[in-house]
Amino acid sequence: MEGIYIIGAGSWGTAFSYHLARKGIKVKLWVREKELFEKIKNERENTWFLPGFKLNEKIEPFNDLSLFSEQPPELTFLAVPTKYMRSVLRKFPARPKVVVNLSKGIEVETLARMSEVIREELGMVEYAVLSGPTFALEVAEGNPTVVVVASKKYELAKKVQEIVSDQYLRAYTSDDVLGVELCGAVKNVIAIAGGAVEGLGFGHNTLAALIVRGIAEMKRIANAMGANPETISGIAGVGDLVLTATGNLSRNRKVGYELGKGKSLKEVLSSMKMVAEGIETSKAIVKLAGKYGVEMPISEKMVEVVFGGKNLKKALKELMTRKLKMENE
């Protein structure tokens, strides 16, 4: 397979390129930061975001997006944080044929999912989204991992499935682009809450309660927007949520944990080099919930805590003392 580009050399973009190169696939990896590009080019290692993994000769880093015009890619994977996606796409000098989104979030200003942002900026390109419980470090290490590839075009989902799958990573296909994208966004918000309750010192009961009621919120917004309910119980939904809300490698969980320990958001972010998508996405999720008339109390409380400075213990007490109801109400 030739002509694969990965746009974004953060931890996930780098790990994904490492995975494909391990399969023998040639990859061109776009590195936004000039300094990092030089380091990867000369040292064959992304010491900023994925230290400890030497990148083999199958990976060709580049910094100039004009390469799109000179060598048009057959397949372009986008590993760009949600808030930068639109601005990066506007720098493309040519339209890629096929785009596979690896990012998980919703644009705050427009409430657009990444498929919508991509089509607004690039036109009607062939589109798929790859999602699931995937810590970048563990994918690079070769830990057995499953993902889902969703596209309205089955042939594309099948093609991407075959390209990315091997003994280390197994891909399943889906046609529920909406559901996969929503799950990827909502789970990051719930993961911040999961980290917060652990940071407060609460145990497994509380974390389990948080996760299962987070799944309920995921179901509500997905149902309201017309997604397939089975997606929520699958790889992109419950699978990714459990990983992100409980795993120590989760950036979103780390943000919540540090907030639970009493740090301010500014203090937490100053110690992080990578983007925790759930922070900005929480605002978008709450706005979407209001737009569709959906109750999402955990997400709402996280916005109040993260951006309004609400006391975490008070927020938790308010969640626990809301009006009593049936489980599936």
* Contact in structure between 95 and 122 (CB atoms under 8 Å): yes
- Cα–Cα distance, 204 to 212 (Å, whole number): 12
Query: Which one of 28, 104, 159, 187 is the catalytic residue?
Result: 187
H helical segments located in 167-277: 177-199, 204-225, 229-232, 240-246, 251-260, 265-270
d(CA 54, CA 44): 6
Q: Which residues, in sequence order, are CB contacts of 155 under 8 Å at separation 6+?
A: none
| Known active-site residue 263 | no
The rounded distance, in Å, linking the Cα atoms of 95 and 3 is: 14
Which tokens is 59 given?
Answer: 């990976």
Please tell me the distance from the alpha carbon of residue 155 to that of residue 213, in angstroms, as a whole number. 35
How many residues are there in the chain? 329
One-letter amino acid of 26: K
Annotated catalytic sites, by residue? 187
